[in-house]
Structure formats: structure tokens, C-alpha cells
Chain A
Amino acid sequence: MTAIALEDVYKSFGPNLVLSGISLDVAAHEVICLIGASGSGKSTLLRCINLLEPIDSGRISLLGHQVTGTGIDANRVRRQVGIVFQSYNLFPHMTVLRNVTLAPMKALGMPRAQADELASELLARFGLADKQAEYPDRLSGGQQQRVAIVRALAMQPQVMLLDEVTSALDPELVAEVLDVIRELADGGMTMLIATHEMGFARDIASRVCFLEEGVIIEEAPPSELFTDPKDERTRRFLRRIVDAGRM
């Protein structure tokens, strides 16, 4: 079954063409990593799937239902698609617990007791049981990002979109967040991950897509794409990564 289907998606900001005819199918339980230089369109692609950005043309379908075009309840779509941002974006005026329970209570109408229970369970699962009453400012970056992932998971989404979730973290905090994502993948979560962590992408992805200038240049299983890239532009990008000591 296809979880996400993109068909010839175009998106521009003013005169800048950011997505230039993206087509991609993501099967249920598949983990796809998007790699490419900054500005290649990875983040925009994820934001379009979450309907945070309207697309100019093309079609996006989630779980077999088209979500672009007129008459779509964006809020209903977003409840099924979790997204986690590079800069966490936790709500600073709420405790960790309230960060997690806000959407289940206010978007799904879940009673507080039930939302609290769900949140406690999820927080405990990701090693954050003792942080429930803390405010985000008092947590490390890694902890904040794990809370942000839990916050998205609390809506019990069908699909998770991760937008360079480790890019803002100190190197020693990256592993704890990647472990969380691994656990999600092992649990069968369908994920679309924009990342600069090539080692991680090689480990976790069922397929890797290389983007450049809003186009998917190459799309292959990691074993193929990282060892035997077909396209010259992919080779050039990977060579730069290796030269920078990032792989």
C-alpha cells in the first residue's frame, strides 16, 4: 500500500523554483532518506506534504486520498502526518507533558486523563519519564528534540516527516535522537527523513533519494546509491561529503 504519493510536484517562492517536478512513492512501513545540499528542496518537500506550504501544481496523496486541490481540510490531514523540525519548536510556555498533550486534547478532543496517560507512556518509552514537569528551556537539545518527536507521535500519525532533526544538535547529542528514530523504524513507522547524516541514512533507509535544485536526481537503495552512484551529480555530492569527513 502506498503511504505517500507525489506526482509532478512544483513549488516556487516568488521567482525561486524550489521543487521542480518531484514524483515519489513511499510504501507503508518504508523509510526514505532525502539527501542533498542545503537549498536542494528537502525541507520544502516535507513542508508541502504536511500542507504547511501550498504547492503550485502536481498532486500529493496520503494513504490513497488526494490531499492537494480545493476542499481539503488541512487540519485533518496534518493530524495523520507528524512532522519534526530542525529547531524543535517546542512551546516554551508549557511543560513537557502539556507540549505533548496539547494536540491530542485540542485537535482530537481526547480527555485530559487519557491524553496524560498516552503522553506519560510515550515519554517513558523514549527515556523522558522524569522530564514531564520540566519546561523546554531546561532540557538539553537532544532531550528537546526527543520531546518534539514524542509530541508528533502523540497524534498517532500514519506517517512521520523528519526535517534535519539532528542538524542543530551538538555532536554528542545526535546519537540519542537517532536511536529514537531507529526505534520508530523498527516499529514499522513510515518515514520520510531529510538528513545530512549519511551513515545513519545508509543504516536505516530502505531507499535514499538525492535531490539537487528541486529535482530527484537519483533514487536507490542505500547500498547502491552510496557505493555505486549512477549520476555524475550524485558522485560529486558524495565526494564532497567524504572530503568533509562526514562519511
Chain B
Amino acid sequence: MSGNQPAGGTNRDGPEDGSAMLSAGLSAGSPAAGFGAVGRGPRLLSGGGRRAGVVSTLSTLVVLGALVAIFLAAPGSQQVRHTFFDPQDMWQSFIGNPKKGYYSVGEAIWLNIRMFLAAEVLILILALVIALIRQSTGPVLFPLRVLAMIYVDFFRGVPLLLVVYAIGFGLPALRLSFISNQSYAVYGVLALTLSYSAYVSEVYRAGLNSVHRSQVAAARSLGLTHGTAMRYVILPQALRNIVPPLLNDFISLQKDTALVGVLGAIEANQAAQIYGSTVFNYSSLTVAAILFLVLTIPLARFTDRLIDRDRNRRLAGAVT
């Protein structure tokens, strides 16, 4: 799709208008900001004193310094820095300029965010339904169990990119009234949901199986129905166990929203590529990468906190 963009503004902004942006560009997303997370090493240490903190900070700085030195000393360093890390280009691609034929990557990332938020909710629901069907035992549900199994096998086996193509180009081609008139983002969310639900249903299933059978027996022995036991006893315990693998899948999902770009939806990756093919500088891709990191890293830390809090609450002062 990038080829369709008017390529009128191939001439670059001169340093005179870019210099004001330079400092802002650096603070908004220089590569150092991405590496900054590693510098928090001391917080990952358990029970280290001040001395341990100093040592780990120093060693982190030394390692980082060595990596940066290698990068700067490389024969093609100048070229790579210009093509991928040019502060002016990073800033220009971040804010965008429709008149010159490229979109704002910073704005486009909102489409990714909207897509994965919508997809996450849908996936959590659909995957749970599939998992519960696959875990059911009654003979009446046998056909549903077979369908669920085929669904999981199919969507785990087909590359997500093909599902995106099939949904994004296939459904509009059907020329049905409602189904064929949606935006590419909607088709993207649908494709992501279909594909990821297959994976996440397996995560749910592992979680349900991780709850000991005696918990089911205890709940049922009190006269709770299967549904009530599932809702109040089994699922809450299963969900606690699956938070880490679930988060893992969701981080993956956040990145895979970029695949919807192949349909022509202007999400961050697509906007960055349009910038690159318009201006012939790929610093826009670095901006997109940083924006994806900004999304995924807080989510990872948040989940770590959730897990720790839950464990502390249940085990603090445990009598053994």
C-alpha cells in the first residue's frame, strides 16, 4: 500500500527546522531509552545491600558501554546511525506530515492499541468458551467437543498472516451487506481473535487442569452445581496460574497487530514503512519499535507485581 502514497515530499527537512526537534526526539525515543530498563538491574537482585547495588550498576554500565563502543566503532556505523537512528527523521516520522505523504507513527500506534484491546477482550471470552467445551464431559456435547478440537488444530496450524489475508480480503469479496463493509481494523481484530483464541484456549485448559481434582470434589460435595463450582472455585484458581503464560500471549498479540498493516490499515508498522519508502530513511521503524516496547514492558512489570502480590498475600507468615 505504501506505493500508493503520494511521494511528493522526498526532499528532507533541513537541519534548521529539525534542530529544535532534536532534543525532543532524543528524549522521546532514543535507543538509550529502550536500554534504560536493563539499568534497573539492582532492583532485580534479592536482598543485595548498597555494595551489591553499586557493583551491579557498574557492571551494567561497563557492558552497555562496551556494546555502544562496538556499535560506534563498526565500519558502517555512520551509515546505520543515519538510516535507522537519525533523530530528525525519528521525530518527523513520529509526528507525521500528511502533506508530504506520510502518516504519524505516534498516532498510528493508537490503532494498534485499539486493536489489541478489542482483540484481548474477545480472545479472553472466546478462548474460555472453547476451553470449557473441550473440558466438558457430557456425551451430549460430543459434537461440540469435536468442533472445538478442529478449531484449535486449524487456527494453531495456519500462519496468522494467512488468516489476516483470508479474513481481510475474503470477507469483503463476499459482498454481503454487513459482513463485507467493515474497516480493515475490524477484519484485523477478527483475524487476531480467531487465531489467538486457539492458543489461549490451550492456556486456559492447562490452567483448569492445574487445579487439583480434590477441589472439584470438595465444591461438588457441598452441593454446588458444576457451573457454580467452576465459577467460584476452579476458574479463580486456574486464572491465577495462567496469568504469566496469558501475558506472554498478549505481548505477542500486541506485536502481531502490526500484521494487520498488510491489509492497508495505517497502524504503527505500516506508517513507519510508508515513511521509509517516502523519505528513504528508516528511522521511522526504530520509532515504531520503541513504541511497541513502551507498550509491552509496563505490561510485563505489572504482571510481575500481580504475581508477587498474590503470592505474598497467601504465603506471608505461613505456618508449615
Contact = CB atoms under 8 A, between A and B. Distances in A.
Given A135-B313, A137-B318, A106 B221 contact: no
Nearest to B224: A107
Nearest to B225: A75
Nearest to A80: B223
B222 A107 contact: yes
B224 A75 contact: yes
A138 B228 contact: no
B28 interface: no
Interface of B is mostly: helix
Contacts of B314: 92-93, 135, 137-138
B139 to A, nearest CB: 15
Interface of A: 47, 50, 52, 75-79, 82-83, 85, 87, 89-93, 102-103, 106-108, 135, 137-140, 151-152, 155
Interface string B158-190: 000000000000000000000000000000000
B315 interface: yes
Interface of B: 214-215, 217-225, 228, 232-233, 236-237, 240, 313-319
B224 A89 contact: no
A155 B222 contact: yes
20 contacts: A47-B217, A52-B220, A75-B220, A75-B223, A75-B224, A78-B221, A78-B222, A79-B223, A82-B221, A85-B217, A85-B218, A89-B217, A89-B218, A91-B237, A92-B314, A102-B233, A135-B314, A138-B316, A152-B221, A152-B222
B215 A89 contact: yes
Given A91-B215, A92-B237, A137 B315 contact: yes
A107 B228 contact: yes
B222 A140 contact: no
Nearest to A161: B221
